[in-house]
């Protein structure tokens, strides 16, 4: 794989709460220079990102119901429509996590379907964020089945902000794990792609995610990941918590 090919797997993410307009502009410059698939930014920044990326071949991705998925379905639909009108070409929505946990699958499916319909009407594709840190495998599998039934474009592991309180009182997120990527790939239909997001910071993480079935990666460490492949360095050290599943 070449550096240019790897870049097309990446949604360069600028989603931290402290993101400024200067951060947005720098992120877009990075995405253009490296030729990433998209820049993934917060909804208020879509119009500016669309202007900066116009004609570059880099898409505009934004998030809906981020990061907890708790808005009403109507508000998520309105968010989606506004984002598309402002120039978004890809929509990453967060499921209603509470509804998933109580297995209200009618609600969950209806919400995904409405948002996908709104996205497609505006020539955008939908990625569905599961936020796997909060879920059991049975929930992930059912979400894969629903997304396959609806023919969504992508299922996605995490927001990167799904912090779970640990026994020691500290909060931690695993984000994308090898286990979850393999599970999601195995239980989605062939036309549904898998996006790995959350904690992918190195070339090793990225290649492992791709090997596990991911065709898109959400990352903030785009420069170091791609440079590691381009210059032949291993870049294999990572501070990402390994968890009990082998995190990538």
CA-wise closest residue to 58 among 35, 40, 92: 35
Alpha helices in the chain (DSSP H): 3-7, 21-34, 46-53, 73-85, 97-101, 105-121, 137-150, 178-187, 203-211, 222-231
User: Residue 7 and residue 38: Cα distance in Å, rounded?
Assistant: 10
Q: What 3-state class would DSSP assign to 182?
A: helix
The span from the CA of 109 to the CA of 141, in Å, is 13
Q: How many CB atoms lie within 10 A of CB 53?
A: 19
Supply the residues annotated as catalytic.
92, 156, 195
Rounded to 5°, the CA angle 220-177-7 comes to 35
CA–CA separation, 235 vs 227, rounded Å?
A: 9
């Amino acid at each position: 794989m070449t550096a240019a090919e790897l870049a097309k797997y990446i949604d360069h993410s600028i989603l931290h709460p402290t993101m400024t307009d200067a951060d947005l502009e720098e992120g877009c410059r990075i995405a253009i220079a490296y030729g990433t698939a998209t820049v993934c930014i917060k909804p208020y920044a879509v119009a500016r990102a669309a202007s900066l990326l116009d004609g570059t071949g880099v898409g505009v991705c934004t998030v809906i119901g981020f990061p907890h998925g708790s808005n009403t379905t109507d508000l998520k639909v309105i968010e989606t429509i506004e984002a598309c009108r402002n120039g978004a070409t890809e929509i990453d929505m967060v499921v209603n996590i509470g509804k998933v946990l109580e297995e209200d699958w009618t609600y969950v499916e209806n919400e995904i379907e409405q948002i996908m319909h709104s996205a497609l009407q505006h020539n955008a594709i939908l990625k569905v964020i599961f936020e796997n840190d909060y879920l059991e495998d049975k929930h992930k599998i059912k979400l894969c089945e629903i997304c396959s039934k609806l023919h969504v474009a992508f299922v996605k592991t995490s927001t990167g902000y799904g912090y779970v309180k640990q026994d020691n009182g500290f909060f931690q997120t695993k984000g994308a794990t090898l286990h979850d990527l393999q599970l999601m790939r195995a239980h989605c239909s062939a036309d549904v792609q898998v996006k790995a997001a959350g904690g992918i910071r190195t070339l090793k993480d990225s290649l492992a995610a791709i090997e596990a079935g991911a065709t898109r990666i959400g990352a903030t460490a785009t420069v170091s990941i791609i440079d590691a492949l381009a210059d032949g360095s291993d870049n294999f050290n990572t501070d990402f918590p390994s968890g009990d599943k082998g995190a990538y």
